[in-house]
Structures are given as structure tokens and as C-alpha cells.
Amino acid sequence: MLLLNRLKALLKTFALFINSLPRRHFFALILLLIFLLILLFIPGKKSGKKTIKRQLELPPISVSSDDYPVAEPIAAVKEVYGEVFPDFSGNREVQIEIKAGDTLSDIFQKEGLSAAQLQELLEVDKQYLRLGNLLPGQKVKLLISADSKLLALKVMIDLANTLTFTLKDDQYISLLETKKGEWRNSVFQGSVTGSFYLDAKEAGLSAGQIQQVSSVLQDKFDFNRQLRFGDSFHVLVAKQYIDGEYSEDSEVLAIMIKTRRQNYTAFLSEDGRYYGQDGLGLNKAYRRFPFNQKYRISSSFNPRRLHPITKRISPHNGTDFAAPIGTKIYSVGDGVVARAGYHPAAGNYIVIKHGRKYTTRFLHLSKIYVRQGQRVEMGHLIGRTGNTGRSTGAHLHYEFHVYDRPVNAMKVNLPLSKEVPKDQMKAFVQRRDLFLKEMGQEII
């Protein structure tokens, strides 16, 4: 009520003020009010935003014939932008160069891999016997998942061989890749001035090749007593080269020793044995069994066998003999010990190469009587049976390989004759004459 009274008083005061104005001032005030009202109702100038037009250029899209866009493979992107492209899988790759004293067990422990995975891997490696004794200089690559599971293992064994293990369906699958390389023949020759070993070494032959020459002719010729000053020797050797580099793998193909009284020759045949120029054998023939008596076969050669420990399908590449611990084992033919040592799955083992064609292997031994690089003859005592490694009982696991492929040792055709078979004589003569031509020699 008070506010209304004040408003009435204010209006009354304003009316008195207007009435008191001179007439000229009154009309001027009226005109000013009209002018202000006109300005109030005039529309103002719009201040809209300025529109900027730009052309958006998209990158060209590669479209296939079926109208679907073609995306670049992630692998290709990673290869180009490997430093910035993240690996969302969590897998990691480890590369190691083996040094003296390194073992696979130490590597697994360092990388957080379980002993169970190592045992599975070693069981598969029984086919190759390479993981138990890694050598200095060998390179190893591992692919490990985020949860510390070994997905793949690769071992660069030497210039020619790379061994890979890959996890597939919860078990490891192995693959041995071998470069064939190139075999080149070289002739080594010289005159005897004193020691045959020193003279042959001077001519360029290695210690192993000299030992092979002596072993081949030892039943026909005495190098210590029959060689005289001025006698000569000629040796044809095949050497393997991988990408132009000597792989240290070699084989003596032919030998000719010239003395004052007669010549002594030896030629390597396709069956891995040496024969004289007339085709008569210089080595003892192969034997079927590595024992001097027969023993029961407890497990035969079977590429589809169910493994007794892992219960998985695992090839049994050999023949198991139920022989008691300590039974003597003999070489089934002349050859060179390629490897001899211990493997966690195979136990004590021996591998013997009988030329380029044949290889024999002996596993789970209790004793080893030979060393790597040693030449042995058929019937040579090499070890004793045992129960070492992952084994279900005392026995000998014996394998026979032809060109590095396991075969049934009880059925394989072995060169058992003392001379070149008649149906193979023509091929032997051609091979013999070719070797002689390469050495620049003739049969006398």
C-alpha cells in the first residue's frame, strides 16, 4: 500500500513538472520521446557469422573388382612402421648366441619358461639329438607368448642345418631344414719324405681325412712299414659348400698309393663301402644286429606308435631290444662317430656316420667307449646298454638312417656282400674311371 501511495505521489509531481514547462519546451520533449520510440522499433542489422567453404579431399580408395575396399595387410604395415606400430599380441622374440657353458635349461629359466615345456621339447628332439648339447657359436631364437608359453624355437645348427620346433595343438612339431649346398671335388697329392701323416697334412688333407685314408687301406697296406721315400699318394675328396663357404663336411672318394712294388687303390661306392679297382671289398660288410647274440625286440620300428610316457602319437624311429644293463654294443659297420654325449630324453647316446648314405644311432646307454671324430670298424665295441634319459626300463634303442631318413633296421637292404654285386659292376667301373680321371691317374 505504501508503494502505491509513493507511485501516485511521483506521478502527481511529474504532471506538475510538465504543466510548469514552457510551451516550446513541452513540444520539444514530446518530439524526443517520439524519436526514441521510432528508433526502438527499427530492426537492427543482422551480425551473422561468415560462412567459410572448403573442399575436403579424401585419399583415393583402392577398390577390388567385387566393390570391396582393399586393405593393406597388417604384416606389411608392421614391416614398414615396425618401430612405431605396437605389438598388441604381447609376444616377444628372444635371440641368443650360444657361449661355452650355456644350456637350454638355463635359457628357459632366464626367460621364465617352465620345466614342463622343456621336457616336451626334449622328447620331440629325440629325433635329432641337438638340444641336449648346444655348441658355442650356434644361434637360438625363441618366440614367447605374453603368458610365458614357448610358441616356437629355432636353432641354427650349422651352415647347412636349421632346426625349428613350433607349438601346434598343444604339442611341438619339429622341422629340420637342410641346405643341399654344393659338393666340389678336390685332389690332394704329394710325395713321401718321412711321416705319411705330416706329408699328407702338408698336401692339404685334414686330420680326419688322413685317418680315413689309413683306415680304408689298413687291411691291405701298412703305412708305417711299407711306405718309402719317394712313394706318392693321390686322394680325391668331396667337400660341401653352403653359399660359397666350406661347411666342414667332406668325404674321401678315391685313394691311390703308388709304391715301387705296386699300387694300392680304394674307391667309394654308392653303398658307402670302399672297393679296390677290381671291385673286391676293402671293408667288412655290415651286420644286422649291434650285438653278438640275439635279444628280444620289445618295441619295433613304428612311425605311428603311441608314446608310452606322453600317451601321444609319436613316431618310434628305431628298434628297442630288451637287453639287460651292461650288454656290449658293437658298430654294425665302418664309420666315423658324428656325436657322442648325453641328452636329457635320449640319455647317453652315440651317432655313427657310415659314409654319406648310412647313419646309425644308439640311445639310453650306460657306458660310451668312443668319442666324436673317432673312426670305428664293424664289430668295434662302442658302448653298453643302460636305462638313461627318459626310459621305461633297461633296453637299447637302435636306429638306422638312409640319407638322414629313419628306416626299419630289421628290414633295410644292407650291403652284405664282400664284392660289388654283378648287376652293379658296370656302374662301379664308370664311377671308378671318373674318379681316376679327376685325379689324373690310370689303372696299372
432 φ, ψ (degrees, to nearest 5): -60, -45
pTM score: 0.70
The CATH number fitting domain 297-407, selected from 3.90.1170.50, 2.70.70.10, 2.120.10.30, 2.60.40.10: 2.70.70.10
Q: Which residues pair with 167 in a beta bridge?
A: 172
Report the candidate in 177, 178, 175 with the shortest Cα–Cα distance to residue 125. Answer: 175
Identify the segments of the chain with pLDDT beneath 70: 1-7, 10-11, 14-21, 23-26, 37, 39-88, 307-311, 417, 444
pLDDT digits (tens, 9 = 90+) for 326-354: 999 999 998 899 999 999 999 999 999 98
User: What is the pLDDT at residue 245?
Assistant: 93
Q: What is the pLDDT of residue 50?
A: 54
Distance between CA atoms of 396 and 424, rounded to whole angstroms? Answer: 35
Q: What integer pLDDT is reported at residue 71 of this predicted model?
A: 46
Fold of 182-283+422-439: Nuclear Transport Factor 2; Chain: A, (3.10.450)
Annotated domain spans of the chain = 87-178, 182-283+422-439, 297-407
Long-range contacts of 90-93 (CB under 8 A, 24+ apart): 90/145, 90/146, 91/143, 91/144, 91/145, 91/146, 91/151, 92/143, 92/144, 93/141, 93/142, 93/143, 93/144
Please provide residue 13's backbone torsions phi and psi, each rounded to the nearest 5 degrees.
-65, -40
CA separation for the pair 116, 96 (Å, rounded): 21
Say yes or no: do domains 182-283+422-439 and 297-407 share a fold.
no
Dihedral angle, C-alpha 201, 252, 238, 159, nearest 10 °: -80
Over residues 362-412, the pLDDT tens digits come to: 999 999 999 998 989 899 999 999 999 999 899 999 999 998 999 999 999
**Segments of 243-316 assigned E as strands:** 245-258, 263-268, 274-275, 297-299
Asked whether 216 and 236 are in contact (CB, 8 A), the reply is: no
Fold held by 87-178: Nuclear Transport Factor 2; Chain: A, (3.10.450)
